[in-house]
Amino acid sequence: MHSGRYDNQAANIRSAAQEFQRTLDAEGIALQIMSAAEVRLDHEILSWVAEEQIPYIGHWRGERVMLLEFPHSHVPVGADKLVAWLLKQQIRPMIAHPERNKDVMRSIDKLVPFVQLGCLLQVTAGAVAGTFGEYARVRAADLLARGWVTVLASDAHNMEARPPELEPGRAAAALIVGEEESWKLVRDRPAEIVGTTDPERQG
């Protein structure tokens, strides 16, 4: 959801996802999809929350989780105020790909206030593996070493340039946080947030 660029809201995202699910079912592809959105930081978020137009990605310790995206170029002044306001509404922001934000790449200090406020962090798996360049890789590794990363995500856009790939990033993360935590990043915590459990781990 990016005002003026991707004018999506909960309703049209949900119906597109349902149509996709119907196609998968019709083709006999056993894949269950769920929908949410990266919500670009914008003053409109206040009214979207009030109008219940935000497709939350799930729940974390009793609060709704919003996948919040900063502009790539910088961390806007006042972003911490919006985060504080969201937290007051029992909405926990999960910041999308902080390792690729230019301000955060220059200095991790830019991210500290958001972590201290209680934001979750979603790092792109490919960034840990080095797909997004050395600066993003170093920053992603730094965030992992500090134990600040909640989940690793594919941030898939397509099958070519941005494929749905997690394993190279998970393997690279395992060298920093260990095998057990690396699986939590790609499996256990995402499942907890979206409210599913991995059948392989049951029983």
Strand partners, 38: 67
The rounded distance, in Å, linking the Cα atoms of 24 and 129 is 30
Q: Site residues for Fe ion, window 149-188 (CB under 5 A)?
A: none
State the number of binding residues for Fe ion (CB under 5 A): 3
- Closest separation between CB of residue 36 and Fe ion, Å? 12
133 versus 178: smaller Cβ distance to Fe ion: 133
Place of tokens 């907890």: 192
- Closest separation between CB of residue 97 and Fe ion, Å? 6
165 versus 188: smaller Cβ distance to Fe ion: 165
Nearest to 100 by CA among 133, 54, 68: 133
34 versus 145: smaller Cβ distance to Fe ion: 34
Could you tell me which residues come within 8 angstroms of residue 115 by beta carbon, excluding any fewer than 6 positions away?
121, 148
Q: What is the per-residue binding string for Fe ion in 43-72, x denoting contact by CB under 5 A?
A: --------------------------x---
Stretch near Fe ion under the rule CB under 5 A, chosen from 1-9, 33-41, 83-91, 139-147? 33-41
Per the CB < 8 A criterion, the answer to whether 47 and 3 are in contact is: no
Per the CB < 8 A criterion, the answer to whether 105 and 95 are in contact is: no
- Closest separation between CB of residue 39 and Fe ion, Å? 10
Among left, alpha and beta (phi > 0; psi -120 to 50; other), residue 97 is: left
Q: Site residues for Fe ion, window 70-129 (CB under 5 A)?
A: 96
Per the CB < 8 A criterion, the answer to whether 136 and 72 are in contact is: no
- Closest separation between CB of residue 117 and Fe ion, Å? 20
29 versus 159: smaller Cβ distance to Fe ion: 159
Stretch near Fe ion under the rule CB under 5 A, chosen from 35-43, 44-52, 163-171, 172-180? 35-43
Could you tell me which residues come within 8 angstroms of residue 3 by beta carbon, excluding any fewer than 6 positions away?
40, 42, 44
132 versus 148: smaller Cβ distance to Fe ion: 132
User: What does the binding site for Fe ion look like in residue numbers (CB under 5 A)?
Assistant: 38, 69, 96
